[in-house]
Chain A
Amino acid sequence: MVHVSQTPVLALRGVFKRFGAVQVLSGVDLEVHAGEVVALVGDNGAGKSTLVKTIAGVHPIDEGVIEWEGTKVDINRPHDAQNLGVATVYQDLALCDNLDVVANLFLGREIKKGGVLDEVAMEKRAQDLLSTLSIRIPSVRIPVAALSGGQRQVVAIARALVGNPKIVILDEPTAALGVEQTAQVLDLVERLREQNLGVILISHNMADVKAVADKVAVLRLGHNNGIFPVATTSHEEIIAAITGATDNAVTRRKSRSAEASK
């Protein structure tokens, strides 16, 4: 996957966010193109979740610019993000256990005909959606409670796609999954890319990141700490960027003395 569009679908430029006394994000940049999987990595507290929530409209940004297809936009509410075409799949999935797969997929976006739920159209659309993503679940008419963890995850992702988004944010999609199920979810991520969607993937699992991502954006203590192309970057370099092994008193002193000697 090399061919990406020129203008990024979503671009964050110099984003700042502060919660009380804590500066969570300071001047973060991020670009996501169509048909590109960007992995967002960083240690706990690096600001990954906050960054994602600013894009999803949960927390409005304090300073900086969010650009959507090249034009500046304001995202103040989750609604704004959804209208632009940002779909977020949170770690806790948030599916209604008692409702069946179709009802969950269309919850809040039901297809109606004359004010009445059009179950047939929804079921048809659900089957089409699941089959284009090669998702196999027992039946679209069983309660979500009856599905396995991996199946729930793919249903949650499919649910995000019902509104035809351009950017899909996946928060730790493989965190609680087994080997087989993780592979299924990663397959699904690749299929999202094939459909020319931009994907932001938050993960702690370097193997997953290396497997599907095109770009790795590393956050460290609320700052950008490098954006690496996955193909040419080693595991260790990414880990080093996450933990700050290249950014400590010794290296800073070295760079200062290098500047001074100029």
Chain B
Amino acid sequence: MSNTNEASATVPAQATEAPAAAAGAVKVVDPRLLVREQGFKGYWTEFKRKVRSGEIGSLPVVVGLIIIGIVFQLETGNFLTSYNLDQITLYAAGPGIMAVGIVFVLLLGEIDLAVGSVAGLAGAMWAVVGTDIPDSLAIIVGILSGTVIGAFHGIVFAKIGVPAFVVTLAGFLGWAGLQTWVMGDKSTITTPLGSFVRDLTSYYFADVAAAYGLAVFVIVAFYLAQLRDSRRRKAAELPHRPQSEIILRTALLAVLCLLAAYAFNQEQGLPLSLVIFLAILVITDFVLRRTTYGRQIFAVGGGIEAARRAGINVSWIRISVFMISGTLGAVGGLFLASATGGADRSLGGGNQLMMCIAAAVIGGTSLFGGRGKVWSALLGILVIQSIVQGLNQMNLSSNAIQYMITGGVLLIAVIIDSVSRKTQKTAGRA
């Protein structure tokens, strides 16, 4: 989405001359450097250079989404419909939120294999304590159980030094066991009427204005933020984005947002699940890119020794990231419970875990740590849910085919990640 100023900042073209000028000349640029040309030709050359040096970011997943759309549309004839978009978003929210947590862990270069079991346990906790205490308190209990478990994983990993892979693998089994134990002799507890959890995936802002309003708000906010950033950079005499580029980006976003809003309004309106998912994405994106804490997460993922020398409390960063992962896993668990109509013993089991990890990786977050965006959770889960939805429509909803295809997509994503990393290395970019 917002690719920030880092990657594609423009350098004034006239700065290429006189590389040997005296000290103090800020805009002197080494003649060997690639300076981006102004205008739209500049984007194209910049784009080609980036692809060649392996900085492809979210490009494969966007291409993948387009291919998936075209293939299923050709196969079924009615894949690109508002109904399907509605269904995809509905089922994407839960695993998507869990995938955001996975993105945080992957940024450290670690993995959380317990996120599915944590989701299941959170659902079970909420359902079981919900029979005795008010619904809102039960939700808090469910979510906090995820936070506590995450803290536990983090402490065992960061303080004792057990590899995160092993800690969370143990958690994967252990918390699934605890989930069954908490459920006791009940195999299912259906969501009580009037519970907020029921609303998570069934409430719609039916008013047409809601979806359009949110879309317009997002577009305007994006435009103003970009404009403000560009102005500030210009005032500080730094390379800044030209007006034309800001307008182009905003226009692209506007088309996407308004199309989606239109589609949702064709169905039942703006789903609450999407609003919550987007809110979580915006907040976590802000935390990662605009706060010291987020910067520290990237630093730990990029080099532990460097982070430690810079005075970063590496243990705390690790523990807190696992707490975030556990918390978001629990929130995702409540969405899963909502979508399936209640908590049960197998909630969060099966391929749920792999879907979340696959979503994060497919979306472009590196398995090797230090590179990624929370938006990859959104893109990745859209890919996976689109495949699921498309197969359902083709009456190929059996697990066998779904597993094989999702497995194949995950493999391709990891291959792209590894190859792009290698290309970046040979191109001197990693």
Contact = CB atoms under 8 A, between A and B. Distances in A.
B299 A107 contact: yes
Interface string A216-247: 00000000000000000000000000000000
Interface string A68-84: 00000000001100100
Q: Which of A99, A107, A145 has the most CB of B within 10 A?
A: A107
Interface in B391-410: none
B134 interface: no
Interface stretch (B38-46, B80-88, B307-315): B307-315
A98 B298 contact: yes
Nearest to B286: A116
Given A107-B299, A117-B295, A94 B305 contact: yes
A252 interface: no
Nearest to B5: A119
Interface string B404-430: 000000000000000000001000111
B24 interface: yes
Given A107-B299, A123-B238, A124-B236, A98 B26 contact: no
Contact of A94 (B7, B11, B233, B306): B306
Interface string A121-153: 101100110011010101101110110000000
Given A100-B6, A145-B430, A124 B238 contact: yes
B295 A141 contact: no
B302 A146 contact: no
Contacts of A138: 29-30, 33
B354 to A, nearest CB: 26
A116 B303 CA distance: 23
A200 interface: no
Nearest to A127: B26
Nearest to A124: B236
Given A96-B307, A136-B30, A120 B291 contact: no
A146 B428 contact: yes
B166 interface: no
B103 to A, nearest CB: 15
A115 B424 CA distance: 33
Contacts of B247: none
A39 B254 CA distance: 61
B292 interface: yes
B301 interface: yes
B299 A99 contact: yes
B232 A97 contact: no
B187 to A, nearest CB: 46
Interface string B343-363: 000000000000000000000
B33 A132 contact: no
B371 A98 contact: yes
B303 A97 contact: yes
Interface residues of A, number: 41
Contacts of A110: 292, 295
Contacts of B30: 136, 138
Q: Which of B229, B289, B302 has the most CB of A within 10 A?
A: B302
Contacts of B371: 98
A46 interface: no
Contacts, number: 109
B303 A94 contact: yes
A78 B7 CA distance: 34
A139 B312 CA distance: 26
Contacts of A90: 309
A146 to B, nearest CB: 5
B25 interface: yes
A220 B229 CA distance: 56
Contact of B236 (A93, A103, A120, A142): A120
Given A107-B306, A123-B238, A143 B429 contact: yes
Interface string A49-72: 000000000000000000000000
Contacts of A119: 5
Contacts of B311: 78-79, 82, 108
B59 to A, nearest CB: 18
B134 to A, nearest CB: 34
Given A115-B291, A116-B291, A132-B24, A94 B302 contact: no
Interface of B: 5-7, 9, 11, 19, 23-26, 28-30, 33, 229, 232-233, 236-238, 289-292, 295, 298-299, 301-303, 305-307, 309-312, 369-371, 424, 428-430
Given A82-B311, A99-B295, 10 more contacts: A94-B309, A97-B302, A97-B370, A98-B371, A98-B430, A99-B299, A107-B312, A108-B312, A138-B29, A142-B429
Q: 9 smallest A-B Cβ distances: which pairs?
A: A108-B310, A98-B370, A98-B302, A96-B302, A134-B23, A94-B306, A107-B310, A108-B311, A96-B303
13 contacts: A78-B311, A95-B303, A96-B298, A96-B299, A98-B371, A98-B430, A107-B312, A117-B289, A124-B236, A127-B238, A131-B26, A136-B19, A136-B28
